[in-house]
Amino acid sequence: MGVLSMNRRLVRPLVAGAAAVAVASGGWLAYDSLRAGDMHTVHSSYAFDVTDETKVAGFADYVVVATVNRVAEVQERDGAPYTVFDVTVDKTLKGEPVKTLRVVQLGGTLGKDTWQVEGESLLRPGTTYVLAAKTEQGRGTHQLVGGADFPVVDRSATRAGGGPVVEWQDSVARQRWPEELPKSS
């Protein structure tokens, strides 16, 4: 009987400890489900002058006029979210002509928290842009050239050949590799 009464004395504190852990865990989960999401600003620097559209065009594998269809997914890469968009290509200014692309942009929402690159808005579904992107080998996606200006385009102007489309066509015609980068990139 001595062993049985000793076990009972051990069981009560263990049950009480397990109950305390369960209550604490439940409290954290309740707090986390009720807390508002946080907004995180990502500060970026670029290896070349991304405000020079001739350099952006020279670096990019694709420059397209495309309409964002939807957010396909948000991926976590090296602790940061990257939003993957499915886009329909209206016009190819540089690159192999395609009907659709999957483009990736740094930033997005994981769980309740949102990350955004300072000064850059995430692409919006239903909106048409001029996009410059570099192919991500082995992923089936194309990374937007960070920091570049992706102007919103009126789809009727695209067909008429006005505004930012003409400016980007000119940048593609005058494209040059960014001298800040080694040629092998």
Quick check: helix, strand or coil at residue 60? coil
The kind and range of the H/E element at 59 are: helix 53-59
> What is the model's pTM?
0.76
Written as tens digits, the pLDDT of the chain (185 aa) is 555 454 555 545 554 555 544 454 455 455 555 667 888 888 888 899 999 999 999 999 999 999 999 999 999 998 889 999 999 999 999 999 999 999 999 999 988 889 898 888 899 999 999 999 999 999 999 999 988 788 898 866 556 556 899 999 999 999 999 999 998 65
List the structure tokens of 105: 């942009």
CA distance 80 to 185: 23
Q: Are 86 and 104 in contact (CB under 8 A)?
A: no
Q: CB atoms < 10 A from the CB of 167, how many?
A: 14
Q: Are 130 and 150 in contact (CB under 8 A)?
A: yes
